């Protein structure tokens, strides 16, 4: 009986998922939009500049679609990016603008659309203006030593 | 004894410092450093095959007015005679010596521009629109080769899609070697690369790589052009200008400064772009008003103003990337 109880205890412990740990700022390195397109590393939203992203800070994303073509000679006006969030905040969908400060001026660099299907998952659609491709994005990735 | 030989071989190989960029499918590698000197070197299995490619580079140079009778030097490894290196510096055209391995600091310079600069139709590296590329390929400066013609070193290959949209452009040297920059982004380098590899990247089937005109059966096709330089064309035709104009020279200066910023970007140089942006709209207006008089001007003069118009339009796209670059 004792052995059975012990076996049940071990099995239930193993099947309980480990709590997800949001990486700390020290572990993460900010990525430019271009790096976020190409990085094979895990990406996390890490943005203190935009209030609407506060709920998303530390959440992991996965790029599932990008309109950027590495070999394209045509410089497109916009680059469309689609990310899945691996964890969904319990808020409604929204559409917002990501502004950046550049040489004493502020510019609309990208538009973000958050969709929350609740049980169906959630995602971020981002439309980035091409000239801002090499600017810091809203994403960070693990530094090499923390990977 | 065998171990000693192995150790000796690895010592010899490790003492040769190569910075290597591999071509995709041919056996020729493009090497940046050899015996402590940086330059442009071909590395391959025999001097015979490397000299064949060197001759194509020489013919490319000759096709754009940079002929040379200099000999090339090819060294083979004393132990592994298949490990050969050929220095192209004495026969390579200026564009190859200047740009091989290079990446700009700011995005913009692309394949179309590279092929037009290589053909000396445009003087400076910057973004080229697909319209500008299409214009020059259809201009009197470029003649499309018939599919029965032999493709020659220095020819421009324009890859188009079925809707006749411009997709890519590069300079052909041989079936093994091409010169190209595969993309507008700053991460794409200028480089010699395998010709088959270029066609593969852009999805051009072998039977579609040398097409005259359009094709119903090819999703992607290559059209081949023999092009004349702008200077050569203008020398013959400038007499047809109804009035003197220095607009082309002014655009040259703007393009030159823009290009220097692209490859040496910093806050100060980008601030200097203000002069270019101030001038560019005025030139665009002037080109448009002259083209509106197209019925009264010669074909050559029309080309002069169209050239100005396309150059300015492309510069505007390039300047946007410079101004918003993170410097």
**What is the residue-wise DSSP string for A63-87?**
EEEE---TT--S--SEEEEEEEESS
Rounded-to-integer distance, Cα B34 and Cα B67, Å: 25
How many CB pairs below 8 Å do chains A and B form together?
A: 59
pLDDT of residue A6: 66
Q: Provide, as residue numbers in chain B, all residues whose Cβ is less than 8 Å from the Cβ of A129.
A: 324
Q: Distance, in angstroms, between A136 CA and closest chain B CA?
A: 9
Our separate counts of H helices and E strands in chain B read 11, 11
172-231 in B: which are within 8 Å (CB) of A?
A: 182-188, 201-202
pLDDT of residue B79: 65
Contacts with A92 (C-beta within 8 Å, 6 or more apart), sequence order: A116
Rounded-to-integer distance, Cα A6 and Cα B19, Å: 60
pLDDT of residue A135: 96
Contact A70 B188 (CB under 8 A): yes
The residue whose two tokens read 């171990």 is B3
Among the listed residues B94, B208, B123, B118, the one whose alpha carbon sits nearest the alpha carbon of residue B172: B118
Q: Distance, in angstroms, between B112 CA and closest chain A CA?
A: 7
Contact A73 B108 (CB under 8 A): no
ipTM for the predicted complex comes to 0.83
Question: Could you list the pLDDT tens digit for every one of the 147 residues in chain A?
Answer: 777 766 665 555 555 544 456 777 778 899 999 999 887 778 999 999 999 999 999 999 999 999 999 999 999 999 999 999 999 999 999 999 999 999 889 999 999 999 998 888 899 999 999 999 999 999 999 876 665
Q: Provide, as residue numbers in chain B, all residues whose Cβ is less than 8 Å from the Cβ of A74.
A: 110, 130, 184
A131 to chain B: closest CA residue:
B321
What pairing do the DSSP bridges indicate for beta strands B220-227 and B156-161? antiparallel
Among the listed residues B95, B27, B18, B22, the one whose alpha carbon sits nearest the alpha carbon of residue B57: B95
End-to-end CA distance of chain A: give it in Å, rounded: 43
B203 to chain A: closest CA residue:
A71
Question: 3-class SS at B186?
Answer: coil
> Which stretches of chain B score pLDDT less than 70?
1-26, 78-82, 294-295
Contacts with B110 (C-beta within 8 Å, 6 or more apart), sequence order: A73, A74, A75, B127, B128, B181, B183, B184
Tokens of B242: 């109804």
Sequence spans of domains, chain A: 2-146
Task: Say which DSSP state A25 is in.
Answer: G
A69 to chain B: closest CA residue:
B183
Does the beta carbon of B131 lie under 8 angstroms from any beta carbon of chain A? no
Tokens of B99: 């740009």
Rounded-to-integer distance, Cα B201 and Cα B209, Å: 13
Angle between helices B299-323 and B273-291 (to 10 degrees): 150
pLDDT of residue A82: 95
Rounded-to-integer distance, Cα A109 and Cα A102, Å: 10
Question: 3-class SS at A129?
Answer: strand
Among the listed residues B22, B6, B18, B4, the one whose alpha carbon sits nearest the alpha carbon of residue B75: B18
Does the beta carbon of B134 lie under 8 angstroms from any beta carbon of chain A? no
pLDDT of residue A18: 47
The residue whose two tokens read 């940079």 is B66
pLDDT of residue B23: 45
Rounded-to-integer distance, Cα A43 and Cα A30, Å: 10
- State how far Cα B62 lies from the chain centre: 15
Does the beta carbon of B104 lie under 8 angstroms from any beta carbon of chain A? no
Other Cβ atoms within 10 Å of B128 Cβ, number: 34
pLDDT of residue B5: 52
pLDDT of residue A23: 75
The residue whose two tokens read 């056996």 is B27
């Amino acid at each position: 009986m004792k052995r059975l109880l012990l076996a049940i205890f071990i099995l239930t412990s193993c099947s309980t998922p480990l709590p997800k740990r949001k990486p700390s700022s020290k572990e993460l390195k900010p990525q430019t939009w271009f790096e976020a397109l190409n990085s094979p590393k895990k990406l996390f939203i890490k943005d203190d500049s935009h209030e609407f992203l506060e709920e998303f800070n530390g959440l992991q994303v996965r790029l599932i679609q990008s309109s950027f073509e590495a070999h394209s000679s045509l410089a497109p006006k916009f680059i469309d990016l689609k990310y899945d969030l691996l964890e969904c905040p319990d808020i409604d969908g929204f559409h917002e603008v990501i502004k950046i400060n550049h040489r004493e001026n502020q510019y609309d660099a990208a538009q973000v659309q958050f969709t929350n299907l609740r049980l169906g998952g959630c995602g971020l659609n981002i439309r980035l203006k091409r000239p801002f491709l090499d600017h810091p994005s809203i994403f960070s990735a693990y530094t090499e030593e923390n990977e | 004894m065998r171990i000693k030989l192995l150790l000796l071989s690895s010592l010899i190989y490790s003492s040769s410092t190569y910075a290597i960029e591999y071509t995709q499918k041919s056996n020729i590698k493009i090497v940046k450093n050899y015996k402590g000197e940086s330059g442009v070197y071909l590395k391959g299995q025999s001097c015979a095959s490397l000299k064949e490619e060197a001759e194509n580079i020489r013919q490319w140079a000759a096709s754009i007015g940079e002929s040379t009778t200099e000999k090339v030097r090819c060294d083979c490894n004393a132990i592994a005679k298949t490990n050969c290196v050929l220095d192209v510096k004495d026969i390579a055209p200026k564009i190859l010596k200047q740009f091989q391995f290079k990446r700009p600091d700011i995005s913009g310079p692309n394949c179309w521009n590279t092929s037009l600069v290589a053909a000396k139709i445009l003087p400076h590296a910057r973004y080229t629109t697909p319209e500008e590329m299409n214009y020059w390929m259809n201009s009197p400066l470029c003649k499309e080769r018939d599919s029965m013609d032999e493709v020659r070193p220095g020819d421009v290959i324009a890859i188009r899609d079925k809707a006749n949209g411009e997709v890519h452009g590069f300079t052909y040297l041989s079936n093994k070697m091409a010169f190209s920059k595969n993309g507008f982004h700053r991460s794409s380098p200028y480089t010699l690369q395998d010709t088959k590899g270029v066609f593969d990247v852009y999805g051009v089937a072998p039977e579609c790589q040398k097409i005259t005109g359009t094709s119903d059966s090819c999703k992607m096709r290559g059209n081949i052009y023999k092009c004349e330089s702008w200077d050569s064309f203008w020398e013959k035709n400038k007499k047809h200008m109804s009035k003197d104009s220095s607009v082309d020279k002014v655009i040259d200066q703007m393009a030159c400064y823009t290009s220097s910023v692209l490859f040496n970007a910093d806050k100060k140089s980008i601030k200097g772009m203000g002069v270019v942006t101030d001038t560019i709209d005025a030139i665009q207006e002037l080109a448009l008003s002259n083209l509106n008089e197209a019925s009264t001007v010669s074909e050559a003069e029309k080309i002069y103003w169209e050239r100005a118009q396309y150059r300015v339009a492309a510069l505007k796209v390039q300047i946007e990337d410079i101004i918003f670059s993170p410097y």
